[in-house]
Amino acid sequence: YLELARELKYYGFLQFRSCFCDYPQPGSMVVVSVGNRELNLRVRFGDNQEMKEGSFKVTRMRCWRITTLHNKAAKLNDSPITTSHQLSFEYLMSKDKLQWITIASEQAILMSICLQSMVDELLLKKTGIKRKQLGNSVRKNSWSYMKRDGSSQLISISQSVSSDDIGSSVNTMGLSPLEGLAFPPLARAQPLAYIPPLRIDLSFLAAQPSSVF
């Protein structure tokens, strides 16, 4: 049964709620699914509401960003859409042709996390590190740090800097553990500042052919 289930078209995909997209035309209502190293859009066309779909390969996405709009009545290419989050990605449509595609959805952050997880999987495969090997290499009192270039570094925490040793070294000076520490004064709460859109560059990944509308 599981072998047959794996052969289904959208096996392993995460499907999101209906949202709006400016592709293939502004204000299109689409159903977004993410999985199998691609982002899939399904949209209805014409009077007969014919369902069509397009696939956007992660390896052809140059970068993507998350935009948070403070006004609830956001506009996507002059189409009024009530949402506050947008996921935009720059896609290689054809040779020497990049195009920005924007999806307006309250689940845009979750979509971005799914894209990031697929990129991480591609980086692990590119560097030849398997997930089991990566998990076995992480021992007690150590953790793995993934660099931006895809390489992994194991950082170990020395037993000599445990909390018990810190407390005993302070007590040898005749001080309590808290008396030997200087705490900075509490800072006043500052108003939230504008956070620029997140941009993730994927130009180093090899481009693979994909199908769009």
Phi, psi of 107 (to 5 degrees): -100, 20
Phi, psi of 143 (to 5 degrees): -145, 160
The residue among 189, 19, 195, 197 whose CA lies nearest residue 104 is 19
| Count of residues making up the chain | 213
Q: CATH code for 2-127? A: 2.30.29.30
3-state secondary structure of 207: coil
pLDDT at 17: 94
Structural contact between residues 45 and 58, judged by C-beta atoms closer than 8 angstroms: no
pLDDT at 48: 76
pTM, 2 dp: 0.59
Percent of the chain past pLDDT 70, that is, above it, reads 54
> Could you tell me the residue ranges of all domains in the chain?
2-127, 131-171
Taking only the tens place, the pLDDT of each residue in 24-70 is 999 899 999 999 999 999 998 777 788 899 999 999 999 999 998 87
